[in-house]
Amino acid sequence: MKLQQLRYALVISKYGSFNKAAKKLFISQPTLSTAIKELEKEINISIFERTTKGVRPSREGIEFLGYARQIIEQTELLEERYINFKPSVRQFSISTQHYAFVVNAFVDLIKNYQLDQYEFNLRETKTYEIIDDVRNLRSEIGILYKNQFNEKVLNKLFKDYNLEFHELFTVKPYVFISKSNPLAKKEIIKLEELEDYPCLSFEQGEYNSFYFSEEILSTISHKKSINVNDRATLFNLLIGINGYTISTGIISEDLNGPNIIAVPIESEETITVGWINQKNIKLTQLAIEYINILENITRKYVQGL
């Protein structure tokens, strides 16, 4: 078993494709395939299984890649300290629902570390893709919410995919609306008061199930509804057409501007936001630091609600 083979396997896992990994590694695909076949033969497991969308780690492969990542991380630290005297490229990936506080923490992580070289990935994406990214080690952690409605479905997926959910905070739901919205001066908003306003939601693509909706109360029908892909578009529509969306109540004026406010909604529901990771795989130091920053930021926001 060679360090180079471990690095190859980690790059394949990251890109979900032998072809993309070979291009990233500047080697031919046959060379890469041969190296992985030799590694699999030596350790007597299949690290990857092929799907219609590319490749993903097998159940045994996920465990193997977890160990491989720890070995490569420690090797790079040794090389940095005793051989190269140069900082290695640090890598860290997150998949998340559309939360501004996740971006706030990401910014603070980069500022705190002041790395000369790094390759970070922050994916604001669909709920199922967050789970799939962490399952297949494309992201080290994923950030999403659970509530009474979706937790049975999500917990089953977490169990099937060997994932753990760690709670960050639990809050009552709020509506995000423009400051100019006629409802903006209310201390609390009732659901029926929202009927004439456009409801804005993040679309979930292929896995467009109520259980994967990023907004709670997803089974309620609306006279006007708009699905969007990104946070900037959603906030523009909140202002432009007096739309609304239901979320945690945590909003960042630095990222979203001063024209959006959060107002409590009359509901017995709660939202529990947390992060997921692969069980029995040690988190990297960057992941640990990021989670510490995220916990501190969300604690301050929640106390302010």
Residue 107 is predicted with a pLDDT of 92
For the chain, where do the domains classified as CATH 3.40.190.290 start and end?
89-305
Residue range 89-305, CATH number:
3.40.190.290
Q: Using one digit for the tens of pLDDT, what is the confidence trace for 69-82?
A: 888 878 876 776 66
Average pLDDT over residues 251-275: 87
What distance, in Å, lies between the first and last C-alpha atoms of the chain? 53
Give the Cα separation of 13 and 58 in Å (integer): 10
pLDDT(87) > 60: no
Bridge-partner residues for 274, per DSSP?
Answer: 144, 167
The 10s digit of each residue's pLDDT in 6-54 is 999 999 988 889 999 999 899 999 999 999 999 999 999 999 988 888 8
pTM comes to: 0.76
pLDDT over 70 at 86, yes or no: no
pLDDT exceeds 90 at position 105: yes
What's the token pair of residue 233? 């578009």
Q: What is the mean pLDDT of residues 282-300?
A: 93
pLDDT of 231 above 90: no
CB 188 within 8 A of CB 266: yes
Helices (H) and strands (E) in the chain, counts: 10, 12
- Whether the CB-CB separation of 181 and 257 falls below 8 Å is answered with no
Q: Which of 87, 167, 155, 97 is nearest to 119 (CA)?
A: 87
What local confidence, expressed as pLDDT, does residue 296 receive? 94
> Which residue spans of the chain are classified as CATH 1.10.10.10?
1-85
| The Cα angle at residue 57 between residues 51 and 61, in degrees rounded to 5 | 145
Domain 1-85 has CATH 1.10.10.10: yes
